[in-house]
Amino acid sequence: MTYDLAVWEGERPTDDKTAGQVFSDLYDRYIDGEMEEPPTDRIAAYVAALLERWCDMTEDDEDASPWSTGQLIDEASGPLIYFAMRWSMAEEASAYAAALADSMGLVCFDVQQDRLRT
């Protein structure tokens, strides 16, 4: 079981319902879309900052990484990253990921709870 977050560039939606709609639109365009786009510089910087805290799953010899997929950067497309964490580490990792996104001026959306995170 995994715990999923979405982080994107853009103005912070005014409420959770609007955030869910924005996430759905971005997901359809950048994750489910036919064209692959490289991550934007801001999203790439966000991923790099996450990987400063915890290594990429592909480099994890001690099972210490919270990420469920590797290379983490491969989960990013354009201004969006949609990524999964191992359930056992989700509380700590999602809190850190949300705070980091907020500090970098990015929007963090909790997919499980269908709400904005800070």
* pLDDT, averaged in runs of 10, over the chain (118 residues): 95 97 97 90 98 87 83 96 94 97 98 94
pTM, rounded to two decimals? 0.94
Residue owning tokens 């590797």: 70
Q: Which residues share a beta bridge with 7?
A: 81, 108
Instruction: State the pLDDT at residue 11.
Output: 95
Q: Which two tokens stand for residue 106?
A: 């990015």
pLDDT digits (tens, 9 = 90+) for 56-74: 888 866 678 999 988 999 9
Instruction: State the pLDDT at residue 33.
Output: 86
Contacts of 25 (CB under 8 A, 6+ apart): none
**Contact assessment for residue 82 and residue 27, using Cβ atoms and an 8 Å cutoff:** yes
Of the candidates 94, 92, 95, the one whose C-alpha atom is nearest the C-alpha of residue 84 is: 94
- Backbone dihedral region for residue 17 (phi beyond 0: left; psi -120 to 50: alpha; all else: beta): alpha
Instruction: State the pLDDT at residue 84.
Output: 95
Q: Directed axis angle between helix 90-103 and helix 41-53, to 10°? A: 140
